[in-house]
């Protein structure tokens, strides 16, 4: 029978065996999955694990700081922060196709991890290991595998950046201790490992970040617009006490769409922001969340008043299926 401590013991054992005498790196995204995967690996091999947080320029407001401060404080994990925003934005310039964006982001993540691994090897001293980094830890979950076409007979719905988006010439073996688990099980494992409540209950956020929430090509200006709108939506949902009620609420910028508006005494020709609040147990299926009208109204008023270039806020009332949770 399935018990949280049984899963932890089995994974810790399997990780120790796989890692052998080498070192391991782990990509941290700030989300629950990679945080729990890293905590499991830390329990298995301690300081032989180095975590790498990649700031790809597609993050939401405050995310880098959260990982740098809160996660390190809670776990004492060894962390490298890499500012790779220029590199990701250059690789994504002019790209509009969702699968192409996902593949590019997956590939760039790996290139950054490879460089970080070389640094870990170069910095290594007489620490009782063989000095090599052969494995990369990822927080891949069972639904990520299925929807990237990895399950038996499964169709490729979208290539999650850490499954179908990996480059062919990958130089690491993978350690994926959560690969058979669903999100609620991962949260249980995280809680049992002593991770803080705020971390365990954080809403999902995709690894490719805001890059798959801009419909159209990605630019620094568009990212700034989306980041501002997203922050307002998150603030208002939190203020209304709705964080646990909703599974997640993607905020999407329709960068390729413009509509006519009027603000002050002038015409505007701006972009719509889509709110996509969903309720779900495992992200495999989802329903749109019936948010209170007053909350929707506050979010809409604030976004259109406070964010330049946005003159309309629309609500996505589609379940999954037929929609997916993210727009790309």
Residues that bind ligand XMP (CB under 6 A): 102, 147, 157-158, 160-161, 204, 206-208, 248, 283, 320, 324-326
Cα 303 from Cα 315, distance rounded (Å): 13
Residue closer to ligand XMP by CB (options 48, 102) is 102
9 is annotated as contributing to ligand binding: no
DSSP string, 89-126: HHHHTT---HHHHHHHHHHHHHHHHHHHHHHHHHH--S
Residue closer to ligand XMP by CB (options 199, 325) is 325
Min dist. Cβ of residue 295 to ligand XMP (A):
21
CB 35 within 8 A of CB 28: yes
Residue 29 is classified by DSSP as -
Task: Quickly tell me which residue has 């404080």 as its tokens.
Answer: 73
33 is annotated as contributing to ligand binding: yes
Min dist. Cβ of residue 327 to ligand XMP (A):
8
36 is annotated as contributing to ligand binding: no
Residue closer to ligand XMP by CB (options 195, 278) is 278
Give Cβ neighbours of residue 159 (< 8 Å, ≥ 6 apart).
99, 102, 103, 106, 148, 149, 165
Min dist. Cβ of residue 22 to ligand XMP (A):
26
Residue closer to ligand XMP by CB (options 102, 107) is 102
Min dist. Cβ of residue 267 to ligand XMP (A):
35
Min dist. Cβ of residue 208 to ligand XMP (A):
5
259 is annotated as contributing to ligand binding: no
Q: Could you tell me which of 58, 62, 61, 67 has the C-alpha nearest to residue 27?
A: 67
Residue closer to ligand XMP by CB (options 147, 176) is 147
CB 86 within 8 A of CB 189: no
* Beta-sheet pairing, 49-55 with 79-83: parallel
Q: Which helix (H) or strand (E) holds 186?
A: helix 183-192
35 is annotated as contributing to ligand binding: yes
Min dist. Cβ of residue 102 to ligand XMP (A):
6
The SS3 assignment for 30 reads coil
Task: Quickly tell me which residue has 């996509």 as its tokens.
Answer: 276
Residue closer to ligand XMP by CB (options 208, 270) is 208
- Residue positions forming the annotated binding site: 29-35
Binding-site positions for ATP read 29-35
């Amino acid at each position: 029978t399935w018990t949280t401590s049984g899963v932890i013991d089995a994974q810790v054992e399997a990780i120790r065996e796989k890692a052998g005498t080498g070192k391991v790196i782990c990509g941290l995204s700030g989300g629950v999955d990679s945080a729990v995967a890293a905590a499991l690996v830390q329990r298995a091999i301690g300081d032989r694990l180095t975590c790498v947080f990649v700031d790809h320029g597609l993050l939401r407001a405050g995310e880098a700081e959260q990982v740098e401060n809160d996660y390190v404080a809670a776990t004492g994990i060894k962390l490298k922060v890499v500012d790779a925003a220029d590199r990701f934005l250059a690789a994504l310039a002019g790209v509009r196709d969702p699968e192409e964006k996902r593949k590019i982001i997956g590939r760039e993540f790996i290139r950054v991890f490879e460089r970080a691994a070389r640094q870990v090897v170069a910095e290594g001293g007489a620490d009782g290991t063989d000095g090599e980094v052969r494995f990369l830890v990822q927080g891949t979950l069972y639904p990520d595998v299925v929807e990237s076409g990895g399950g038996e007979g499964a169709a490729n719905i979208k290539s999650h950046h850490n499954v179908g988006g990996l480059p062919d010439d990958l130089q690491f073996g993978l350690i994926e201790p959560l690969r058979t688990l669903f999100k609620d099980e991962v949260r249980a494992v995280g809680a049992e490992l002593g991770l803080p409540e705020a971390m365990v209950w954080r809403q999902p956020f995709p690894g490719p970040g805001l890059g798959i929430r801009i419909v159209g090509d990605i630019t620094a200006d568009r990212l700034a617009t989306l980041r501002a709108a997203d922050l307002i939506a998150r603030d208002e949902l939190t203020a209304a006490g709705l964080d646990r009620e909703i599974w997640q609420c993607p905020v999407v910028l329709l960068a390729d769409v413009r509509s006519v508006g009027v603000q002050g005494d002038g015409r505007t020709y701006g972009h719509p922001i889509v709110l996509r609040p969903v309720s779900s147990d495992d992200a495999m299926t989802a329903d749109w969340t019936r948010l209170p009208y007053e909350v929707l109204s506050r979010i809409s008023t604030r976004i259109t008043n406070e964010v330049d270039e946005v003159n309309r806020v629309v609500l996505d009332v589609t379940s999954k299926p037929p929609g997916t949770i993210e727009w790309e």
